[in-house]
Amino acid sequence: MMRRLRPIAASCLLVIGLAAAALGAAGVARAGEQAYEPMAASVRSALAAAVAEYDDPEPHFASVSEKVDWLDQMSAKLPRRWKPSYQQRVDFLKTVRYEAQRAGLDPELMLGLIEVESNFRKYAVSSAGARGYMQVMPFWVDVLGDGNRAELFQMRTNLRYGAVILRHYLDTENGNLFRALGRYNGSLGKAQYPQLVQRAWERWKYRRKSVATAAR
């Protein structure tokens, strides 16, 4: 069963949850496979602020040992063909974790979603026109950003948009991950995509080392 995720995002993201109920009841205009839903000005402003607010992408870890262990485990799970330098892998994983935590998401869920969406291809483009690691639809840049769609091929920009959008859908669906994932993929109400992400999420789950194992 899909778990419900509780938002723990920065203050600007909390505004989204308060304003989500104000989403308009107007008809939905399709943008590829994902629906763009007209939204209240307060929701749009909060989302735009969440996308634009940049700072140093330093994720939280409970300890130095957890940081080293988490990065090591996640790096080992990246596709074999995905072989940038060690520092590039670390930068990618730290950015994923930071953006996930900032949006109140599980970092391993975000990695699972990336696996399903693009299989970690930075320049992936779907038949619907979605771009990058998290397959962000270009209309989001027009709605929330400056309209520069090429930026969706930049690692941090793509991860920021993807995390903010998924958080928005979770808030819209009152924490129902199954329905939020359906909205993200443009297949609301169908089980296939949420199940694919769930299975990928399970593969990416962090297995904390036991004290005995860590001491060896």
Encode 147-178: b = buried (16+ Cβ within 10 Å), e = exposed. eebebbbeebbbbbbbbbbbbbbbbbbebbbb
What is the pLDDT confidence band of residue 49, given thresholds at 50, 70 and 90?
A: confident
Residues labelled as active-site residues:
117
Exposure of 23 in the CB half-sphere (CA atoms within 13 A): 15
Domains and CATH numbers, the chain: 11-215 (1.10.530)
Residue type at 114 in one-letter notation? I
What is the pLDDT confidence band of residue 82, given thresholds at 50, 70 and 90?
A: confident
pLDDT of residue 174: 96
The whole-angstrom separation of Cα 137 and Cα 183 is 12
Residue-wise pLDDT for 167-187, tens only, equals 999 999 999 999 999 999 998
Average pLDDT over residues 92-108: 96
Q: Could you give the percent of the chain with pLDDT greater than 70? A: 77
The whole-angstrom separation of Cα 191 and Cα 117 is 15
Exposure of 203 in the CB half-sphere (CA atoms within 13 A): 17
* Cα 17 to Cα 136, 145, 167, 172, distances in angstroms: 21, 20, 9, 7
HEC sequence for 106-172: CHHHHHHHHHHHHCCCCCCECCCCCECCCCECCHHHHHHCCCCHHHHHCHHHHHHHHHHHHHHHHHH
Residue-wise pLDDT for 114-146, tens only, equals 999 999 999 999 988 999 999 999 999 998 888
pLDDT above 90 (res 214): no
* Cα 93 to Cα 64, 97, 158, distances in angstroms: 15, 6, 14
| Mean pLDDT score of the chain | 81
pLDDT of residue 31: 32
The whole-angstrom separation of Cα 14 and Cα 59 is 19
Q: Phi first, then psi: what are they for 34, rounded to 5°?
A: -100, 140
CB atoms near residue 77 (< 10 Å):
12
Structure tokens at 79: 């596709």
Task: Identify the helix (H) or strand (E) that includes residue 214.
Answer: helix 211-215
Task: Enter the pTM of the model.
Answer: 0.78
Task: Identify the helix (H) or strand (E) that includes residue 29.
Answer: strand 29-31
Q: Is residue 58 within 8 Å of 102, Cβ to Cβ?
A: no
